[in-house]
């Protein structure tokens, strides 16, 4: 009556079986040796621009240099004349606004360091169970940067939000071709998040990244930064804010970025928008597939705790024997709200080691599960990270 | 560098560690020996009436006798004069309706067998990690019954639903005291689910259960049955249907029945309503804590596959050695959409066995995970089921 030997696919389906999702190595749609915009990224698609850094480069520093910061776009970068740029604020407000950059710059400046992560980070790992749509990301669409700009709550207070306000919509100035329509990238956040005004505001309208003016790839001249939420809520090339009694009807809030098994109307409707990110992490060095000698091996990686204030990694663990025993990794960098933490570990590998496993939990109850349910769009892949290696 | 010995609490927090959630045995608020309404249930609260059967009784038959069918109420059973009863249908419809029971009975009758499960099934198991609010359910608030009534889609077609319809609200005739207001129990389902009209309609307005008129505990004279969705969407004592362009603002859809870590406004808003149930299961016999001789042991239980058409258990497994090895269980009853399946297994227990573990997966990709994230309201506890036993 013992379970029979499981096929690879059945093992994936069987609950609790050791996850066999290998680090997928998707074929790169485009990998230009020199990006015309100077980014040092692996481009998964060139048009629109979607690129992620090599993991070994990603963890060289706690702050991610802009050239190594992933780029996620749905259309070509819009050409914006900053002298004519106006941010409009409308909807459920007493005083609709049209703010130039100069007017925005009269607001108090807020600096914050926050990690952005694509909801599709590690998406390609889902393909071992069933094909998922979207950009075939490995574990690189994540980065930690210094942002500087203006608190959304300050702008909303200026506009005098009405009692019935429940959600704040963001609309980009990009133009995305979808079927026969052209739409901006958009999304919304709950009004409670928008009005958070602690050390770190609930959302910042940023004009600077890492001490420089935003680059076109990252939303010049103005973008939203929503710490703790998936990257999709941090709308780039921000042109319009709408205060509403309901969530944004924009495709990227109302339909996309949900956990669904199928992309039927009923599946989309049954599923709510993703806001917060769950804890996630990856092994960044050594490289996947590398051959190393038996014995001690130094490894490193990142972990991003759940998108909540005060969330920090509680336990980061590595296994070299497929999950039978675990060794603790040590945080080397990062003790800041809404930011990732870098870690190192020294493990022992033997001729029987075929991969390294990594898992983590945080102090808010978040954890990387052994396996996550497959979803059609490949979001929130945060199961134990597996890095295949060879030991000589 | 090996992980140190983990405390009980840390083991729960550590991702992927063997789950140590024991079968919690909450103290019963009320356990009347004879229920005035003749139910053979363990009442977790007497007012309102919230009772679940003993698990050994629950799995005696694939169809659950009404007296063993869990009762979940938020207020006293309303007194309804069926001769004056009218179901109103309003909102985004061309023809608002007010239907007497006699008028409803002129619609085609639909019979369906479907399992209802409380979203709080197995809630008490969360308490080992942190206290959860709500009725302290064990694994009994689930039951499979024959329902008979009228397709919601037939009623909606009669009312002529307008183009902008997106959700269908249900309101009960019960009166729930909440702070200073009295509200009915309510909820809504997406219009796509409401209009499903296959062998099993997306929702049925039932006046019969197991071949009899509904009892007051189960929603007499009319209740909603929404196969595949958590029990809370199957509103009892149904009095009003509203077709709308948005989900119901009723507390039990808009706020309660969501997965949240805290019960703050922002946490509620960030989280969408729960509609479908995920696969779940339990060991029903032997009883928790029983002493059995070493050797062969026959065990039984139930599994409810994910709330989707064609979903069936794919693999049901038992472990007597804390998850190191697993033995397959066999489905004995149940091959019907939106219904549970009963199973049996024969396992070997030794003096080292301290508990039985059960896990299952289904053919739609659903699985019972080793551990689920704690949530403040204790919903959707579907981790591996653990039954403590003693072996002599």
Residue B218, pLDDT score: 98
Of A250, A270, A290, which residue is a domain's last?
A: A270
Q: 3-state DSSP helix/strand/coil percent for chain B, to nearest 5?
A: 15, 35, 55
Residue B18, pLDDT score: 36
Do A265 and A360 fall within a single domain? no
Is A16 among the domain residues?
no
Q: What secondary structure letter does DSSP report for A276? A: B
Cα separation, A322 vs A320, whole angstroms = 6
- A10: chain B residues, CB-CB within 8 Å: 315
Is B36 among the domain residues?
no
Q: Of B130, B271, B369, which has the smallest distance from its Cβ to A371's Cβ?
A: B369
Q: What is the CA radius of gyration of chain B?
A: 21
Do A212 and A359 fall within a single domain? no
Cα separation, A63 vs A111, whole angstroms = 14
Domain count, chain B: 2
Residues whose CB falls within 8 Å of the CB of residue B226, separated by 6 or more in sequence, listed in order: B189, B193, B202, B203, B233, B234
In 10 A of CB A120, how many CB atoms? 27
Q: Report residue B215's pLDDT band, with 50, 70 and 90 as the boundaries.
A: very high
**Residue B65 three-state SS:** coil
How far apart are the CA of A261 and the nearest CA of chain B, in angstroms? 9
Q: Of A2, A192, A364, which has the smallest distance from its Cβ to B265's Cβ?
A: A192
Residue A179, pLDDT score: 87
Is B24 among the domain residues?
no
Interface test with B, best of A270, A320, A369 (most B CBs within 10 A): A270
Residue A29, pLDDT score: 47
- A386: chain B residues, CB-CB within 8 Å: none
Please state whether the peptide bond connecting residue B48 to the residue before it is cis, i.e. omega within 30 degrees of 0.
Answer: yes
Interface test with A, best of B203, B266, B329 (most A CBs within 10 A): B266
Closest-CA residue to B215 (of B39, B74, B41, B81):
B39
Cα separation, B54 vs B139, whole angstroms = 9
- B314: chain A residues, CB-CB within 8 Å: 13
CB of A344 closer than 8 Å to CB of A293? no
Q: What is the CA radius of gyration of chain A?
A: 21
Q: Report residue B11's pLDDT band, with 50, 70 and 90 as the boundaries.
A: very low
Is A60 among the domain residues?
no
Do A320 and A343 fall within a single domain? yes
Do B314 and B191 fall within a single domain? no
How far apart are the CA of A143 and the nearest CA of chain B, in angstroms? 23
In 10 A of CB B33, how many CB atoms? 4
Q: Looking up tokens 């009095």, which residue turns up? A: B239
Cβ contact, residue pair B367, A327, below 8 Å:
no
Do B266 and B188 fall within a single domain? yes
CATH code for position B372: 2.60.40.650
Residue B287: C-alpha distances to residues A338, B55, B326, B328 (Å): 46, 8, 20, 20
CB contact A323 to B (< 8 Å): yes
Is A17 among the domain residues?
no
In the structure encoding, which two tokens stand for residue A310, read together?
Answer: 């005060």
**Residue B132 three-state SS:** coil
The separation between CA A115 and the C-alpha centre of its own chain, rounded to angstroms, equals 8
Of B270, B297, B314, which residue is a domain's last?
A: B270
Cβ contact, residue pair A261, B365, below 8 Å:
yes
Residue B33, pLDDT score: 58
Cβ contact, residue pair B15, A315, below 8 Å:
yes
Cα separation, A197 vs A48, whole angstroms = 35
Do A265 and A314 fall within a single domain? no
Do A217 and A346 fall within a single domain? no
Is A184 among the domain residues?
yes
Question: Above 80 in pLDDT, residue B14?
Answer: no
Residue A92, pLDDT score: 98
- Give the pLDDT of chain A (392 residues) as one tens digit per residue: 333 333 333 333 333 333 333 344 444 444 555 787 777 999 999 999 999 999 999 999 999 999 999 999 999 999 999 999 999 999 999 999 999 999 999 999 999 999 999 999 999 999 999 999 899 999 999 999 999 999 999 999 999 999 999 999 999 999 999 988 999 999 999 999 999 978 899 999 999 999 999 999 999 999 999 999 999 999 999 999 999 999 999 999 999 999 999 999 999 999 999 999 999 999 999 999 999 999 999 999 999 999 999 999 999 999 999 999 999 999 999 999 999 999 999 999 999 999 999 999 999 999 999 999 999 999 999 999 999 999 99
Q: Which domain holds residue B338?
A: 280-391
Cβ contact, residue pair B14, A361, below 8 Å:
yes
Cα separation, B305 vs B313, whole angstroms = 6
Do B136 and B285 fall within a single domain? no
ipTM for this model? 0.86
Question: Above 80 in pLDDT, residue B28?
Answer: no
- B270: chain A residues, CB-CB within 8 Å: 190, 193, 275-276
Cα separation, B114 vs B334, whole angstroms = 11
CB of A114 closer than 8 Å to CB of A147? yes
Residue A246: C-alpha distances to residues A165, A356, B146 (Å): 8, 45, 39
Q: For strand B295-304 and strand B327-328, is the pairing parallel, antiparallel, or unpaired?
A: unpaired
User: Between vectors from CA B268 to CA B247 and to CA A87, what angle results, nearest 5°?
Assistant: 80
Residues A188, A192, A194, A199: is their CA dihedral positive or negative?
A: negative
Closest-CA residue to A331 (of A306, A308, A360, A366):
A360
Do A250 and A298 fall within a single domain? no
In the structure encoding, which two tokens stand for residue B355, read together?
Answer: 């508990």
Q: Of B190, B266, B366, which has the smallest distance from its Cβ to A190's Cβ?
A: B266
CATH code for position B110: 3.90.420.10
Residues B151, B152, B157, B163: is their CA dihedral positive or negative?
A: negative
Residue A214, pLDDT score: 98
Do A94 and A241 fall within a single domain? yes
Is B29 among the domain residues?
no
Runs of H (alpha helix) within chain B: 8-13, 55-58, 101-104, 152-159, 191-194, 251-254, 265-270
In the structure encoding, which two tokens stand for residue B221, read together?
Answer: 């004279």
Of B270, B303, B323, which residue is a domain's last?
A: B270
CB of B220 closer than 8 Å to CB of B335? no
Do A142 and A76 fall within a single domain? yes
CB of B385 closer than 8 Å to CB of B139? yes
CB of B328 closer than 8 Å to CB of B317? yes
Residue A197, pLDDT score: 77
Do B124 and B263 fall within a single domain? yes
Is B333 among the domain residues?
yes
CB of B363 closer than 8 Å to CB of B334? no
């Amino acid at each position: 009556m013992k379970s029979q030997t499981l096929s690879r696919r059945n093992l994936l389906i069987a609950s609790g079986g050791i996850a066999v999702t290998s680090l997928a190595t998707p074929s790169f749609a485009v990998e230009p040796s020199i990006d015309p915009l100077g980014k040092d990224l692996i481009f998964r698609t060139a048009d629109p621009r979607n690129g992620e850094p090599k993991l070994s480069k990603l963890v060289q520093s706690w702050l991610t240099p802009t050239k190594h910061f992933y780029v996620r776009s749905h259309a070509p970068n819009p050409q914006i004349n900053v002298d004519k740029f106006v941010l409009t604020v409308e909807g459920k407000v007493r005083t609709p606004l049209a703010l130039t950059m100069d007017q925005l710059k009269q607001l108090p400046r807020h600096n914050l360091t926050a990690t952005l992560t694509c909801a599709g980070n590690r998406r390609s790992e889902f393909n071992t169970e069933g094909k998922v749509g979207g950009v075939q990301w490995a574990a690189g669409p994540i980065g930690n940067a210094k942002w500087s700009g203006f608190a959304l709550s300050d702008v909303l207070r200026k506009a005098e939000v009405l009692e019935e306000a429940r959600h704040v919509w963001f609309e980009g100035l990009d133009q995305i071709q979808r079927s026969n329509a052209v739409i901006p990238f958009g999304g919304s956040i709950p009004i409670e998040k928008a009005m958070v005004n602690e050390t770190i505001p609930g959302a910042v309208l940023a004009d600077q990244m890492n001490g420089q003016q935003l680059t076109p790839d990252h939303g010049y001249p103005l973008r939203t930064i929503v710490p703790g939420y998936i990257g999709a809520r941090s709308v780039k090339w921000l042109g319009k804010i709408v205060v509403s009694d309901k969530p944004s009807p924009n495709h990227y809030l109302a339909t996309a970025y949900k956990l669904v098994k199928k992309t039927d109307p009923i599946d989309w409707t049954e599923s709510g928008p993703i806001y917060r990110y769950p804890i996630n992490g990856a092994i960044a060095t050594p490289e996947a597939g590398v051959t190393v000698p038996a014995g001690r091996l130094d490894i490193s990686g990142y972990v991003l705790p759940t998108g909540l204030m005060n969330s920090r990694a509680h336990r980061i663990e590595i296994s070299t024997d497929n999950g039978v025993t675990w060794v603790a990794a040590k945080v080397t960098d990062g003790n800041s709200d809404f930011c990732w933490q870098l870690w190192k570990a020294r493990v022992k590998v033997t001729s029987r080691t075929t991969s390294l496993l990594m898992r983590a939990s945080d102090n808010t109850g978040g954890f990387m599960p052994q396996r996550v349910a497959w979803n059609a769009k490949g979001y929130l892949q945060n199961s134990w990270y597996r890095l295949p290696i060879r030991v000589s």
